Amino acid sequence: MTVEALSSTADLEDAREKLVQSFAPVREMLDEPNVIGAWSIRQTLAHLLAWDGWAEETLAALERGEAVPIPAEDAMNSSAVEAVASVSAETLVQQLMDARRLILGRLAAMTDDERREKRYTLADKQMSANDFVDMFIEHDLEHASEIRAWRKAKGL
Give 78-110 pLDDT, tens digit per residue: 999 999 999 999 999 999 999 999 999 999 999
Distance CA 111, CA 95 (A): 27
Amino acid at 83: A
- Look at residue 4 in the predicted model and tell me its pLDDT: 47
Global pTM reads 0.90
- pLDDT tens for 34-48 read 999 999 999 999 999
- Look at residue 25 in the predicted model and tell me its pLDDT: 96
* pLDDT-derived band at 2, boundaries 50, 70, 90: very low
Residue 6 has pLDDT above 70, yes or no: no
Residue with the larger pLDDT of the pair 112 and 150: 150
Residue 68 has pLDDT above 90, yes or no: no
- Look at residue 5 in the predicted model and tell me its pLDDT: 41
Average pLDDT value for residue range 143-156: 97
* pLDDT-derived band at 122, boundaries 50, 70, 90: confident
CB neighbour list of residue 82: distance below 8 Å, 6 or more residues apart? none
Q: Residue ranges of the domains in the chain?
A: 3-154
In CATH terms, the fold of domain 3-154 is: Four Helix Bundle (Hemerythrin (Met), subunit A) (1.20.120)
